[in-house]
Amino acid sequence: MEHIVHPIPPFYRPDSRILILGSFPSVKSRESRFFYGHPQNRFWRLMARLFEEEEVPGTVEEKAAFLERNRIAAWDSIHACDITGSSDSSIRNVEPNDLREILDAADIRHIYTNGRKSQEIYARYCQPQTGREAICLPSTSPANAAWGMDKLAEAWGVILEDFR
């Protein structure tokens, strides 16, 4: 187990409408220096499906352009922690992210957490700071094999309400 400080800056623009928070970046995401970098994570395929885009973003530049185009802010609940590999269950000694940077600068209407660990950290550390509730969505991680793509799309479809 090693203590790691989050290496990826928050992604947002002034017109971002929703904030999606993971827990802490996986080894692959830390290597790519962008969110949801593991090829088996279904986040980008799911987002492309929900926003009816033909191409799934693959490069960091394509992912950033997708988030910008669809007015999505992305970050994680955790700033630093002790972690083994990419395992959320191994996370200890949490230091939360200060989300005010995003919330003060962007038009965030709703906050969503990608999985239970992010929701747990958000509720414990971030919500008292922000005063805003977050909606917990099922994890897009490949470890959440019980949720197939159709089931994920149905649950995550709630984010589209902010764009209607």
What does the pLDDT average to over 26-33? 94
Sequence-separated contacts (24+) of 24-31 with Cβ below 8 Å: 24/76, 24/77, 24/78, 24/81, 24/83, 24/88, 24/91, 25/76, 26/86, 27/85, 27/86, 28/86, 30/4
Each domain of the chain, given as residue ranges in start order, spans: 2-158
Q: Per residue in 106-135, pLDDT tens?
A: 999 999 999 999 999 999 999 999 999 999
* Percent over 90 (pLDDT), the chain: 91
Q: Whole-angstrom Cα distance, residue 42 to residue 48?
A: 10
Output the six-digit token pair for 163. 């764009």
The CATH homologous superfamily to which domain 2-158 belongs is Uracil-DNA glycosylase-like domain (3.40.470.10)
Average pLDDT over residues 75-84: 96
- The mean of the pLDDT values for the chain is 96
Q: With bands split at pLDDT 50, 70 and 90, how would you rate the model's confidence at 56?
A: very high
Q: What are phi and psi of 12, to 5 degrees?
A: -165, 165
pLDDT at 2: 87
Decide the pairing of beta strands 78-83 and 92-96.
antiparallel
